[in-house]
Copies of this chain bind each other. A is one copy, B any other.
Amino acid sequence: MSRPLDDTDRAMLRALVADGRQTVRALAKVVGLSEPSVRDRLQRLERDGVIEGYHAELAPTEVEAGTAAFVALRFDPSKQAKDAMNKALTHEPCVLEVHEVAGEDCYLVKVRVSSTEALADTLDRIRAMPSVHSTNTTIVLRTILERPLLPR
């Protein structure tokens, strides 16, 4: 196991979630420690898997993904069918999230596509996946808030 995070770790994480490209020097200024110390901590956070990666955030409308929707999926919940579903959904680039949820629906799937027409095509492909019983799609009219996970 890894040590619990202290206040300095959390300050670094918050800074890196806000700006993932900032330099170690800038981080050192933020937390008030020397560069090597901050670098050691950063490497530890990365090695311990607290930081899973760094990603550019793209504007959905600029990359033909201005339409979002959530698809509640029901399907045969056998282990085999699940594995096949996971693989098939992962191969759909517009499928951004898949959550196994409690309740009558098996999966809750978040998709981002260019238009409602593209959404229709995506839904056709999802419904054509083996063992799918039904889909119930909720279209997003407007995204009010979408932000990355912050520490504590």
In the complex, chain A residues 50-100 whose Cβ is within 8 Å of any chain B Cβ: 50-60, 62-65, 68, 70, 86, 89-90, 93, 95-100
Contacts known (A101-B70, A138-B102); A51 close to B55, Cβ less than 8 A: no
Decide yes or no whether A121 CB sits under 8 A from chain B: no
With contact pairs A21-B21, A89-B144, A112-B149 given, residues A99 and B68 touching in the complex (Cβ less than 8 Å)? yes
Give the contacts of A129-152 with B (CB-CB under 8 A): 138-152
Cross-chain contact of A145 among B19, B70, B95, B144 (Cβ < 8 A): B95
Within 19-72 of A, Cβ neighbours of B (below 8 Å) are at 19-21, 48-60, 62-65, 68, 70
Given A50-B58, A58-B13, A138 and B108 contact (CB-CB distance below 8 Å): yes
Are A65 and B99 also in contact (CB < 8 A) when A20-B56, A51-B58, A58-B50 are?
Answer: no
Is A16 an interface position by the 8 A CB rule? yes
Contact surface of A with B, Cβ cutoff 8 Å: 2, 5, 13, 16-21, 48-60, 62-65, 68, 70, 86, 89-90, 93, 95-103, 105, 107-108, 112, 138-152
